[in-house]
């Protein structure tokens, strides 16, 4: 019966178990399909995104006129990634150019003057830079002469992920109902 060869991230199907990557000991495996490699590449900036958390640390409200609202808190803000697709955060960080696991303490600090007789809400929001990255997979076949999995040609793009990098803060004052 045939054996299976582990190459890169894939294992060939077979009934004889697994063999470490390298030379194929069974010539019956030659020519069988295999997964030569999976990799992350094409990290690229695609825009910005604002989030407006609806939590106490991120908002204050009060009545005007002739008063002020102030936000002054320390919050933790993290970079993030949509999914790892079986790769390490280090692989994805290398593709997009920043540490997708970084968390930093940031101070929310803003004061707004309330001019009219109304209810106001002052909100803080986080602004992120968005990056996309692609996951590629290179199909291959077992080459008997080389005794390993070799790529068939151009890799195929399998999926796309998104990573967010904290950039800055934004503040918004809204006026609600009148008193």
Please tell me which residue, 22 or 103, carries the higher pLDDT value. 103
Of residues 165, 168, 167, the one with CA closest to residue 80: 165
Q: How far apart are CA 20 and CA 24, in angstroms?
A: 9
pLDDT single digits (tens) 115-155 = 999 999 999 999 999 999 999 888 888 888 887 888 887 88
In terms of residues, how long is the chain? 179
Average pLDDT over residues 98-126: 95
Long-range (24+ apart) CB contacts under 8 A made by 22-25 are: 22/147, 22/148, 23/147, 23/148, 24/142, 24/144, 24/147, 24/148
pLDDT single digits (tens) 34-58 = 776 788 989 999 999 999 998 888 9
Residue 10 confidence class, pLDDT cut points 50, 70, 90:
very low
């Amino acid at each position: 019966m045939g054996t299976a060869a582990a190459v890169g991230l894939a294992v060939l199907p077979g009934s004889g178990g697994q063999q470490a990557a390298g030379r194929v000991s069974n010539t019956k495996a030659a020519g069988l399909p295999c997964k030569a490699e999976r990799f992350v590449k094409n990290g690229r900036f695609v825009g910005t995104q604002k989030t407006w958390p609806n939590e106490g640390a991120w908002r204050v409200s009060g009545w005007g006129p002739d008063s002020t609202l102030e936000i002054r808190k320390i919050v933790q803000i993290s970079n993030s990634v949509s999914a790892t697709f079986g790769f390490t955060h280090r692989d994805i960080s290398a593709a997009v150019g920043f540490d997708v696991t970084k968390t930093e303490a940031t101070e929310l600090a803003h004061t707004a003057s309330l001019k009219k007789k109304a209810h106001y809400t002052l909100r803080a929001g986080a602004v992120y830079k968005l990056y996309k990255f692609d996951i590629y997979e290179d199909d291959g076949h077992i080459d008997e002469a080389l005794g390993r999995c070799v790529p068939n040609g151009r890799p195929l793009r399998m999926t796309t992920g998104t990573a967010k990098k904290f950039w800055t803060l934004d503040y918004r004052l809204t006026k609600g109902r009148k008193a």
